[in-house]
Amino acid sequence: MPQPALPQLHPLLRTLTLGLVCLLAACNRAGDPVYRDQFFAFGTLIDLTFHGVDTPRAEQASRALEQTFRQMHSDWHAWQPGALQQANAGLAEHGQASVDPAMAALIQEANRLSTLSNGLFNPVIGRLVALWGFHNDEPPQGPPPAADRIRQLVEQVPASTDVRVDDGQIHSRNPAVRYDLGAFAKGYAIDRGIEQLKELGILHAIINAGGDLRAIGRHGNRPWRIGIRDPRKPGVLASIEPAGDESVFTSGDYERFYEHEGRRYHHIIDPRSGYPAGATVSATVIHPVAATADAAATALFVAGPDAWPAIARQMGVKYVMLVDREGRIHLNPAMQARLKFESEPEAIVMSEAL
Ligand code: ADP
Ligand code: MG
């Protein structure tokens, strides 16, 4: 999750900018049932699309969402000052920290999903992610970290099962545990955003954070239609129509990476080796809950072309597509039935095991 600093715009400038964004997106013209807006949070543009909502209500909801997202972004940031950073400082100094109920719930859910993924989605490898230089707004420059420093961290085996959450406190029995929720917080935030929209009576909407999204309801008399990015060239690999209330999340090696001496080092780390997971270039998951989809996309990326069906089953995920380093598409029949490829894939590896 890239997280550059939030732009601090003068309120008037901000209003003008948003107005312009709205104008460019031709949002909610008279008679147009679609309202679109964007704001910046979690290091990416958050795109909102509402169908069939009148402009004043849509604008009000959009502002409310923007506020919630900015708050969550700063509370859960992995390396900028905020509640998560304080919790990590407490773990580092005393092996425990106070957390508010929202943070406790977030951490508990991350821990639960981590266990279901056999630790391949591991939200407590903050020190490894930092060592690789990804606790930074800009991608790092090579060379990669020294092998013995990576080994030292891997040998301490930080695991979410080392952490106990109770009574407003988190306790870790492993001094190497540091939370980095970059693989999960965006999904969790989108779920909170969708709850907020439903409470406001908005039932047909998409919250899209840089291609990772949850969609509810429909686009009028047809379903929503969304594209899944091709991991190796500009454009769309396939499109899908989310049904009712569904999230679509992709983890890719193209999101944050650097190259050194002809090798790509990206931001999804295999906690078992301490190195970027090598066999996958993108993993896409459809699941009703965005937090699960986000954690699972990361876990299945790490699991790779052989191990993904077993991990997907454990995580309760029913639709998966992986693109491997050779460009082969790995998926299960239910996922294939949901996808419309832009062009016929050259190689498909079907897994009946899911
Ligand atoms: P993105 O947010 O770019 O779509 P992910 O959801 O896969 O991609 O999240 C990647 C981020 O999660 C990394 O930048 C890092 O902060 C963190 N991370 C890296 N490897 C893991 C892992 N195995 N488990 C959990 N978090 C990870
Ligand atoms: Mg993820």
66-107: pLDDT as tens digits: 999 999 999 999 999 999 999 999 999 999 999 999 999 999
Q: Is 258 in the pocket of ligand 1 (CB under 6 A)?
A: no
For residue 250, which atom of ligand 1 is closest to its CA? 4
Rounded Cα distance, 199 and 244, in Å: 17
**What's the mean pLDDT in 31-54?**
93
- Do the two domains 83-172 and 225-354 of this chain adopt the same fold? no
Tell me the percentage of the chain whose pLDDT exceeds 70. Answer: 91
pLDDT of residue 6: 31
Q: Which residues contact 351 (CB under 8 A, 6 or more apart)?
A: 308, 309, 330, 331, 332
Rounded Cα distance, 187 and 198, in Å: 17
**Confidence label for 31 from pLDDT (cuts 50, 70 and 90):** low
Q: Which of 60-64, 137-141, 308-312 has the lowest mean pLDDT?
A: 137-141
Q: Is 251 in the pocket of ligand 1 (CB under 6 A)?
A: yes
Q: Is 114 in the pocket of ligand 1 (CB under 6 A)?
A: no
Pocket test residue of 3, 46, 85, 268 for ligand 1, highest count of atoms within 8 A of CB: 268
For residue 186, which atom of ligand 1 is closest to its CA? 2
- The token duo for 262 is 């002809």
pLDDT at residue 14 tops 80 = no
Determine the straight-line distance between the first and last CA of the chain, rounded to whole angstroms. Answer: 28
pLDDT per position as a tens digit, 109-124: 999 999 999 999 999 9
pLDDT at residue 10 tops 70 = no
**Confidence label for 141 from pLDDT (cuts 50, 70 and 90):** confident
Q: Which of 8-22, 27-41, 210-224 has the lowest mean pLDDT?
A: 8-22
CA distances from 115 to 124, 154, 160, 163, 256 (A): 12, 17, 7, 12, 25
Q: Which residue has the tokens 């709205």?
A: 22
**Confidence label for 142 from pLDDT (cuts 50, 70 and 90):** confident
**What's the mean pLDDT in 220-239?**
95
Rounded (to 5) percent helix, strand, coil in the chain: 35, 25, 40
Give 321: exposed, middle or buried? Use CB within 10 Å, 0-12, 13-18, 19+.
buried
pLDDT of residue 32: 66
pLDDT at residue 251 tops 60 = yes
pLDDT at residue 334 tops 80 = yes
* Residues pairing with 245 in the sheet: 216
Ligand that comes closest to the CA of residue 110 = 1
Domain boundaries, the chain: 1-75+183-214, 83-172, 225-354
pLDDT at residue 13 tops 50 = no
**What's the mean pLDDT in 182-200?**
98
For residue 249, which atom of ligand 1 is closest to its CA? 4
Rounded Cα distance, 33 and 53, in Å: 7
pLDDT of residue 17: 40
CA of 304 to the centre of ligand 1 (A): 15
Please determine, looking at this structure, whether the domain spanning 225-354 carries the CATH number 3.40.190.10: no
pLDDT at residue 329 tops 50 = yes
CA of 287 to the centre of ligand 2 (A): 13
Q: Is 183 in the pocket of ligand 1 (CB under 6 A)?
A: yes
The CATH architecture annotation of domain 83-172 reads Orthogonal Bundle (1.10)
